[in-house]
Amino acid sequence: MEKEIASDAAEPYGERLLSCREMMYRIAFGVLQSEEDASDAVQNAFCSLLTQGAGREKLEKAKPKLFRWYVCQTAKNAAVDLYRKRQREADRFSGAEEEDPCPDGGGDPAGRLIRRERKAALRRAVNGLPEKTRAVMIRVLVLGEKESDVAASLGISCQAVSARLKRGKELLAARMQQEEDQ
């Protein structure tokens, strides 16, 4: 193990990390299948690698092969963590739908059927929204995040978040109305 840690590379740690950026991105993209999410995962991996305590000292002295392996593992773990976070968000959204958005259906079998059909219509309508609009709506309306926090994390203005919410609500209402008319 000591032989693997000893390195003849005099390249600074930050430069070594940057040289692995493309490889980290390819790994993250392979897990997430999304350019934005892959970039986020690489950024999370960089933060993790740059803020390590005692482990960083050993990593700085590691041979290139061990260094690249560790960086790849960190990128993969960051991507898997982000994937799991997205899944939890989706599960929370699904759970919110199960809270019965249509209380007028009653407890009888016909009422349960109506509720089930309305839930399915709501799911289709939400899934049909543009990705950026859907993400903002879920984060603000379902997960309860503040508009300002969503704006900051997405790198857009609060007005843009408000506009996406307004447009999303309009689209959702129109799609639900189309479902009712059919």
Domain containing 68: what range? 2-85
Residues 6 and 78 occupy one common structural domain: yes
Q: What are phi and psi of 169, to 5 degrees?
A: -65, -40
Whether residue 75 sits in one domain with residue 117: no
The 3-state secondary structure of the chain reads: CHHHHCCCCCCCHHHHHHHCHHHHHHHHHHHHCCHHHHHHHHHHHHHHHHCCCHHHHHHHCCCHHHHHHHHHHHHHHHHHHHHHHHHHHHHHHHHHHCCCCCHHHCCCHHHHHHHHHHHHHHHHHHHCCCHHHHHHHHHHHHCCCCHHHHHHHHCCCHHHHHHHHHHHHHHHHHHHHHHHHC
Amino acid at 114: I
- Shared-domain flag, residues 80 and 127: no
pLDDT tens readout for residues 23-42: 999 988 888 888 898 999 99
Q: Specify the higher pLDDT residue, 182 or 20.
A: 20
Q: What is the pLDDT of residues 120-152, one digit of tens each?
A: 888 888 888 888 888 888 888 877 888 988 888
Sign of CA dihedral 155, 141, 124, 89: positive
Say yes or no: 116 and 41 in one domain.
no
Question: How many distinct structural domains can be found in the chain?
Answer: 2
* 135 falls within a domain: yes
Same-domain pairing of 70 and 106: no
CATH assignment of the domain containing 122: 1.10.10.10
- The last residue of one of the domains, among 85, 113, 148, is 85
Question: Does 30 share its domain with 54?
Answer: yes
Confidence band (pLDDT; 50, 70, 90) for 54? low
pLDDT over threshold 90, residue 160: yes
Question: Residue 95 falls within a domain, yes or no?
Answer: no
Q: Report the chain's mean pLDDT, rounded to a whole number.
A: 80
Q: Would you place residue 161 in the very low, low, confident or very high pLDDT band (cuts 50, 70, 90)?
A: very high
The confidence score (pLDDT) of residue 43 equals 93
